[in-house]
Every structure is written in structure tokens, then in C-alpha cells.
Amino acid sequence: MPIRFIGRQRQLGALHTFYASERTHLATVRGRRRVGKSTLLLHSLEAGRSAYHQAAQLTPESNYARFHDDMAGTLTPILQPGTASDILHAQNWRSMILALGQAATELGRLSVVIDEFPYLSRSDPSLESVLQEVLGRIEVLDQPLKLILCGSSISQMEALLEHSSPLHGRSELNLVLQPLDHLESAQFTPAWSPEHLVQARTVFGGMPRYLSQLQEDLSIGENYERLVLNPDGPLHEETNRLLSAELSEPRIYASILMAISRGNTKAGEIISAAGIHASSLQKYLGRLEELGLVRSMRSANATPATRNLRYTLADPFIASWYRYALPHLSALKIRGGEGAWERLVAPGINEDKNAAPETFENICRYWTTLYMNEFWDGEHSEVGQILQGSGDQDAEIDVACRLGHGQQLSWLLGECKWTTQPQGTRTLHQLHTNARKLLGSTPVRQWLVFSKNGFREEFKNAAPEQTRLIDLMELYRMP
């Protein structure tokens, strides 16, 4: 059964443009493990004009031998005898890439993917210089060879683009894959209701590898028990595997993630809860942000110099592991995953502000970004939220975007309600009150109210000007 390809249309289009261009020769693709890099690249390749190699952690000699075998096995059956012989008899990386350049000329173009390229460059530090020299020659000869270097080691892939790298300036396309958004994620289980899709995103996030294992005919709880809470489930050890593969001190990073999952969002709180030295925190947080596991936030009305940052877990799957699985590992080992959803997850997933309500707010902010041109076509800030530093926590604003600047400054503000009741005018009045508390007399150009369970009829029929009401169905409507 073929692997379903969902989402990534923008990135797919960029790759096809790269393949078709006459003057491009090198691209890079990077992103976390499980984010779907290999699936995207395999789906993008043209039959009869491409070759794929999955690198491994081996010696330089073994690495080249595997690459040679993959190129020979894929390309020699479709090439003329002379070009095929050049590939078969290539003794090193230089002669092989030169032979691939000739093969590209013969085929009209040739795209070659090297997946997990950092494995090769770590074992053979001279490889990047070889590629730089050979790509220069291929460019002079105007050979239509397309080389795509892909890797999960984000720092090493970024290093390829830095000024000190031999390949600096040679890459014409640099894709960074992020987790799928809520609309793309929903395509894995289209029969589920929007409410269930929000809950699924709360525990599984947007990583394609996790979503591809969902069974639509089972409930969210049954899937989570089967895949995560069951000690023998395929995703039960996923968090530990990720930290061990990507980080040199996984126990320290795990302690930071656990501290944040328990509501410690400020630097001082994290230091105390995780038991680490204050001088080390930013180093660890920076690495977690680089991996997309932690996100730093500042209030949308703060100045760029404001240092009062808050931290949250950026990956819902990791957050759900620390919230629902880690505290109960002993019980899960003894009792298994059956019934664990009802015991451990269901009682709080809709009430805990860091669970489904937070997922809902994130979806609302993404939706606002997606449809910003309906409200404002000028300069604006990133869509965020206004955080209350101290005092009345009810004065926080869930969706906030600064519109314009200077004397022309105004705001777009929104309230998100993940409750069982339809919303009425009282919700909008509270949003107005919070705006006055936090922004004073600064004008608000657009008001948004998001509701899990819709709106009362009198509110829908008499919503004030510059006010938009958005329910779950609209949030999951494809643009």
C-alpha cells in the first residue's frame, strides 16, 4: 500500500521548480526527525530522472560503497553503455559526481537526493570541499544535475550554508520543514469532528510520522492508548529516543521539558524546578528552541528589548507525553494502556488550560495569520497574545496583532473560548474591558471571537461592526 502524501504543497512546488530550472544545482532540506523530509523528497522525484540514497553512520569507505551501489543500481539500466560504465567504475566521490553530471546531460536532467547527509560529512570532512569543486565544474559545463542534501541534524545542515562552509552560496533552495498545520493534520483523519481533531492535535501534534499511524475507525483515546500509553506501543519511547538521538545531555533537557510541562514558564521557575545552574539555562533552551521542542514568547504589546520571556512546549506530542505518560510510567508498565485514556487523559484534556484550550488558541492564532488580509492589508506584527505580567490574569488577551506603527498604530484582538456553552455578548464585552486595561486608548480596528460551541442567536444577529465570530467549523474549513 503506497504511503499517503498529505500537505507540503508549497514545498513540493518549490522542489519541482528547482528540478525544472536550467541554472540550479544544489538544494538543502532540513527538519526534525519524523517531520516528513524523506516522504516529501521521494514524492517529489521524477521517475527515470532521479536517484535516492539513504546515508548511514559508517566509515568513509563503506559510505561511498553504499552510495556507489545505489547510483549504479538505479541509473545504469536507463543510461547508455558509456555513461553507465563511468558510474560503475567511479572510484571516489569526485569521479562519481562527475559521472552523474554526464548522466544528467544524457537524461535531460537528473535529481540526486542524499538523505541524512551529515552522516557522510561527519565521517569524511573533505566531502564538502569535493562537492564544491565538482559542482563548480558541472556549472561551467552547464550539466543539469540537481543535488539535494537532506538532514535531521539541524545545526549541521545550517552549517552548510554558513560563510565558513565550502558550499556557502551554492545552494539555490533551502527548505526547512515544520510540523503540519491543523488543516493538513486533519487530512489524516477526515471523518473526525473538529472537536476531536483539536483533541487529537493536543496529544499527537503535527508530525506526519505520528499522524500516519492513526486509525480513523478507532477513537482518539483508543489510538493514544495503542500508540503511546501502551508500554509496547510504537510511540511509547519516542520522546526518549528523540532526546537521546539529538542531544548530548538528554537527562538535563528532559528535566527542563518536564518543568515547563508543569506550568513553569519563566526562567527562574524553570531553573528552580529543573535543578540546573542559571548560567546554563539559555544554552539548553536555545537548543530546545532550535529543535522545535520549546517556544519562547513575549507579550505582543512588549518592546523588542523586553526580557520578560515565557516558555512553552512547542510540540504537543512531547507536551502530552510529559503531561499524561511520564507521571504514570510505573502504573502503565503494570496495567498496560487499556483504559488509561479515561483514567489519565479524558478528565482534564478539555479543562486544563495547557491542553485542548491551548491547542485551540494556537489554531485561532494560526487562522488569524492565514486570513489577515481580510482584516488588514498594511504592515503588521506577528500574531501573538498579550500576557499579563502580574495581577489580574483574566486581563490576558488570547489573539493580538499590532497593525501599522507610530501615530497610525491600531490593534486586532481576539478571545478564544473552549467551553461547552455558546458565546454571547458578555464575551465581547470582557474582551473590550481587557483591551482598555492593557492598551489604554489605543484604537482596535478588528475584534475576533472564537468559540468551540458556536454563538447565541442574538449575538450572531447583532454582532457589532468590526467584529467577526468564528466557530470550529470555520477554523477547519480549507482556504
Q: Please state, in angstroms and rounded to a whole number, the distance separating the CA atoms of residues 401 and 444.
A: 10
| pLDDT at residue 119, as a whole number | 93
| pLDDT at residue 309, as a whole number | 87
| pLDDT at residue 247, as a whole number | 86
Considering the segment(s) 182-345 as one domain, its CATH architecture is Orthogonal Bundle (1.10)
| pLDDT at residue 1, as a whole number | 44
pLDDT in tens, the chain (479 residues): 456 789 999 999 999 999 999 888 999 999 988 899 999 999 999 999 999 999 999 999 999 999 999 999 999 999 999 999 999 999 999 999 999 999 999 999 999 999 999 999 999 999 999 999 999 999 999 999 999 999 987 778 888 888 888 888 889 999 999 999 999 999 999 999 999 999 999 999 999 999 999 999 999 999 999 999 999 999 999 999 999 988 889 999 999 999 999 989 999 999 999 999 999 999 999 999 988 899 999 999 987 767 778 999 999 999 999 999 999 999 999 999 999 999 999 999 999 999 999 999 999 999 999 999 999 999 999 999 998 755 555 678 999 999 998 888 999 999 999 999 999 999 999 999 999 999 999 999 999 999 999 999 999 998 899 999 999 999 999 87
Cα 86 to Cα 80, 91, 104, 286, 466: the distances in Å are 10, 10, 13, 46, 68
| pLDDT at residue 392, as a whole number | 52
Beta bridge partners of 401: 412
pTM: 0.90
Q: Please state, in angstroms and rounded to a whole number, the distance separating the CA atoms of residues 453 and 463.
A: 17
Domain boundaries, the chain: 9-176, 182-345, 356-475
| pLDDT at residue 165, as a whole number | 87
Residue 276 in contact with residue 310, Cβ under 8 Å?
no
Cα 345 to Cα 88, 202, 356, 462: the distances in Å are 57, 11, 11, 38
CA atoms within 13 A on the CB side of 123: 14
Considering the segment(s) 356-475 as one domain, its CATH architecture is 3-Layer(aba) Sandwich (3.40)
In the structure grid, which three cell numbers stand for residue 97, read together? Answer: 559526481
Supply the CATH classification number for the domain 9-176: 3.40.50.300
| pLDDT at residue 3, as a whole number | 60
Residues 6+ apart with CB under 8 A from 453: 419, 420, 421, 422, 423, 471, 472
